[in-house]
Amino acid sequence: MKSKFWNFIFWLVIAAAFIGPGTVTTAASAGANHQYQLLWALLFSTGACIVLQEAAARVSIVTGQSLGGAIQSRFKSPGLVWFIAIAVFLGCAAYEAGNILGAISGLALIVTGIPTWVFTVIIVAVAATVLLIGNINTVANLLGVIVALMGIAFLYAALSLKIDASAFFIGLLVPSINEESALLTLGLVGTTIVPYNIFLGSGLAKGQTINQMRSGMIPSIILGGIISMAVLVVGTSLVGDFGFGNLFQKLVENHGAFMGVVFGIGLFAAGFTSSITAALAGAITIKSAGASQPDEKSWKFRRVWILVLLTGLVFGVINLKPIPVIILAQAANGLILPLLAFILWMMVNQRTIMKEHQNSLLLNVFMGITVFVTAMLGFINVFKATFSVIGEQFVFNGATRSIILMLAGLTLLYGIVKIHKEQMAYVDHNCD
């Protein structure tokens, strides 16, 4: 049995998965444009991430099935499972280039004169070697150690800055949102709660008890949230347009060359770990959806993560952003996150299956809030993708905002009604 320490390190793979270049960009941009005002969004998203990740893992532990298998058993719909799985896989593949290029950006800040394609090939080769040689437990532990180093780097950078303690705690504990910060706020939530992470966490829970899972997962996600907050604090050093290079120069100017190296290492670690977890999560997700469960050493399993890595390699080498695929992935994943949140909400309230492990009232309240927020995020992503296709710029205000809020509210209301009906049906059945 794992020690508590190594169980914690093992579960840091979840933090490795959601702290990628996208998180660094979004969190640092939030700091640059709004200083400490959006820290509360990271606090909320960390809590929401814990709720959804724990729910998915709990379902898998209680049922003894993969998350995909448990969803299929609950809703009797293989098509639903495969829709989710393929959409998640597309997201992993479409954004893999971004993960790799993020890692390259970190290296390029501290090592100059080497072509991008060389870094790309090296990173993909190392990632493939790690996945090829190690089993899931070994990979998770390795990534956990790298995340710990990344955390040290970003925390050191943040704590080396002069922090306004009063503004920090106000931003952390007092929600504040306006028209300018609305999309960025939801972006902070979206970079923390990642659809493929839910499948990844569910797969990693295999063989653990609920207490073991919680004791490792929850503190690991909390540390991931703290690292994201540290990135936001680092971003406050830069006022105005955000860019990795701009922030690097600002840190070097104000705090010396060593601080720049620390930031570069942190950015590289964020991109590198995400490039591995995206590939691994894509394979686990497809495995979860299938009727058969291929061994992680089988080529049926390996060919999925190889395809994700190759996608990142191709687009990284030619330095081309796969815009149509990204738009498709955005639209699909925009629906997947609230759909997954809603599905998990239904499943953890199914008394016949979960029994004493069903949701408490408090968990249901927080999960309902999470469903509402993720629904908003999902509809925004779908609207953005739609507007991109027709050549219009999406703006979150006026009629568009009202429609999105109404759709999110209806999603929440439908969930409440459905859970209530199922609970009453269970009570009536047992009374009979």
Sequence length of the chain is 432
Predicted pLDDT of residue 211: 92
| Distant-in-sequence, close-in-space partners of 47: CB < 8 Å, separation ≥ 6 | 366
In contact, 107 and 264? CB cutoff 8 Å: yes
Q: Which two tokens stand for residue 152?
A: 């040290």
- Name the residue with higher pLDDT: 169 or 12: 169
Task: Select the more confidently predicted residue: 62 or 23.
Answer: 62
Q: Is 110 a residue whose pLDDT tops 60?
A: yes
Q: Is residue 80 part of a domain?
A: yes
Count the Cβ atoms, other than its own, within 10 Å of residue 221: 25
54-108, pLDDT tens digit by residue?
A: 999 999 999 988 888 888 888 877 788 888 888 888 777 777 877 888 888 888 8
Q: What is the pLDDT of residue 293?
A: 61
At residue 115, the 3 state secondary structure works out as: coil
Is pLDDT of 333 > 70? no
Residue 191 falls inside a structural domain: yes
Q: Quote the domain boundaries for residue 70.
A: 4-321
Predicted pLDDT of residue 319: 64
Residue 339 belongs to some domain of the structure: no
Q: At what angle do helices 21-34 and 182-192 cross, to 10 degrees?
A: 150
pLDDT band at 37 (very low <50, low <70, confident <90, very high): very high
Kindly state whether residue 370 falls inside one of the protein's structural domains. no
In a domain, residue 36? The reply is yes
Q: Among residues 270, 78, 86, which one has the least CA distance to residue 195?
A: 86
Read off the tokens for 377: 């995020």
**What is the rounded CA–CA span in Å between residue 420 and residue 157?**
48
221 or 7, which is more confident?
A: 221
Give the model confidence (pLDDT) of 165-215 as tens digits: 999 999 999 888 777 777 788 788 878 888 888 988 888 888 899 999 999
Asked, for residue 60, whether it belongs to a domain, the answer is yes
pLDDT at 1 over 60: no
Task: Report the pLDDT value the prediction gives residue 372, as an integer from 0 to 100.
Answer: 92
Instruction: Give the count of beta carbons closer than 10 Å to the beta carbon of residue 310.
Output: 15
- pLDDT at site 329: 56
Domain containing residue 48: CATH number: 1.20.1740.10
Cα dihedral 171/172/177/181 (nearest 10): 80
Considering its fold, how many domains does the chain have in total?
1
**Average pLDDT of the chain?**
83
Q: Note the pLDDT of residue 339.
A: 86
pLDDT digits (tens, 9 = 90+) for 306-328: 888 888 788 777 766 545 555 55
Pull the structure tokens for residue 117.
Answer: 């394609």
SS3 content of the chain, % helix, strand, coil (to 5): 80, 0, 20
Answer whether residue 330 is part of any domain: no
Q: 420 lies in a domain?
A: no
Q: Give the position of tokens 């794992």.
A: 2
pLDDT over 70 (residue 272):
yes
The highest-confidence range among 205-209, 248-252, 292-296, by mean pLDDT, is 205-209
% the chain with pLDDT above 70: 91
State the pLDDT at residue 320: 61
pLDDT at position 257:
83
Mean pLDDT of 97-126: 82
* High-pLDDT (> 90) share of the chain, %: 17
